[in-house]
Amino acid sequence: MLYLREDFKKAWAGKDPFQEVEKLEGRVFRAVKSRRTFRFEMDGRGFFAKIHHGVGWMEILKNLTQFKSTITGAGNEYAALIKLKELDIDTMTPCAFGTRGINPAKQDSFIITDELTGTISLEDFCRDWKKNPPVPRLKHALIRKLAQVSSKMHANGLNHRDFYICHFLLDIDGGPENVNPDKLKAYLIDLHRAQLRGKTPRRWIVKDIAGIWFSAMDIGLSKRDVLRFVSIYGKNMPMDDNFWNDVNSTAGRLYRKEFKKSPDCAFQGAFLTEKD
């Protein structure tokens, strides 16, 4: 399978895209045995590339024995990006994608996306909120945005698996102090582990929402803020108290594993209903 946008069709006309992508050079952000992620420039524009090579049968079998799925190429990310575009969710724009080989252990693939400029991760944007709270209107708009994106994804069979606020890039092209709550753009990135099905299983929804909550536990949210997320999410994805309690306990386990202590929240049972 091969997709090339017009600019890459022109640049690689008459050439093997798989050979051309291997020739690209730039700043490497991640390099593991079977995958390399890097930034490069072409004709004065910035791009990000992920090149995947076969993980081998040993890795696939090891994951199978541990009941884990194996990411064998760039196809997951490409399919997720296309789905997000269909759902009108802000994300990266794919401009080249290719996969070759039937054997999943030896498959080669790549994906190239346009660089997102003038952005900051929500983790960095919200880092000082405890000491310097944002204006309520902006905070409420961001909560609404994340709840809407989450519910729309899950209602349409897509889950992220690394669903943390650091994987949302907020558009701050006019400066971080000038973000317009009425025109928020928060791009969802890092989708190489995403899963797409007819219906999202409950346990993967819990994992996603727990990831968002875990990554936001230290930014100074109130119980009212958390309930705002619950209410907005529930409009498309109505969930019972047991679901939200599972989310809260899963997020707590993530926090304790990462920081070796319990979260220092201003309340307990964050995701309980308002009648609690």
Catalytic residues: 162
Confidence at residue 138, expressed as pLDDT on a 0 to 100 scale: 97
Specify the pLDDT at position 106. 74
Nearby residues of 105 by Cβ (< 8 Å), 6 or more positions away = 54, 55, 56, 57, 59, 60, 72
Domain range annotation of the chain:
2-114, 119-259
Point out which residues pair with 91 in neighbouring strands.
Answer: 188
2-114 and 119-259 share one fold: no
Q: What are phi and psi of 178, to 5 degrees?
A: -115, 20
Of 186, 197, 232, nearest in space to 92 by CA: 186
Pick the CATH number of 119-259 from 1.10.580.10, 1.10.510.10, 3.40.50.300, 3.65.10.10: 1.10.510.10
Distance of alpha carbon 31 from alpha carbon 192, whole angstroms: 14
Written as tens digits, the pLDDT of the chain (276 aa) is 899 999 999 999 999 999 999 999 999 998 877 789 999 999 999 999 999 886 545 554 555 565 566 565 788 899 999 999 999 999 999 999 999 977 666 789 999 999 999 999 999 999 999 999 999 999 999 999 999 999 999 999 999 999 999 999 999 998 999 999 999 999 999 998 999 999 999 999 999 999 999 999 999 999 999 999 999 999 999 999 899 999 999 999 999 999 999 987 756 555 554 444
Give per-residue burial for 189-212: e unless 16+ CB within 10 Å, then b: bbbbebbbeeebeeebbbbbbbbb
pLDDT for position 102:
74
Output the six-digit token pair for 113. Answer: 């996306």
Report which residue type is found at 219: I
Spell out the CATH class of 2-114. alpha beta
Q: What pLDDT, on the 0 to 100 scale, is given for residue 54?
A: 62
pLDDT score, position 77 = 94
